[in-house]
Amino acid sequence: MSDQYLERISINPKVMVGKPVIRGTRIPVELIVRMVAQGIPIEDILTDYPRLTTEDIRAALYFAADSVANEDIRLLSVASA
């Protein structure tokens, strides 16, 4: 199911300096994820960006989740107080 959504994402060095965007737009995935994280209702995002669909927002979230799922996390040691 997520592959279907990920087809909505485009990465092109000539568009937004290669940042992932919703295919056919210049709307960065990062912008959508930040708006959702800020608690902006999806209906408001769709109103502000009429070219977006609910599926585009889901695709952005899937892309973000897949991006962090494939990162290596290295914990730093923390000195106890």
> Is CATH 3.90.79.10 the right assignment for the domain spanning 2-68?
no
**Which residues, other chains included, contact 33 with Cβ-Cβ below 8 Å and sequence gap of 6+?**
60, 61, 64
**Contact yes or no for 50/61 (Cβ under 8 A):** no
Section 52-57 average pLDDT: 96
- Is-above-0.85 flag for pTM? no
Structure tokens at 79: 């000195």
pLDDT at residue number 1? 53
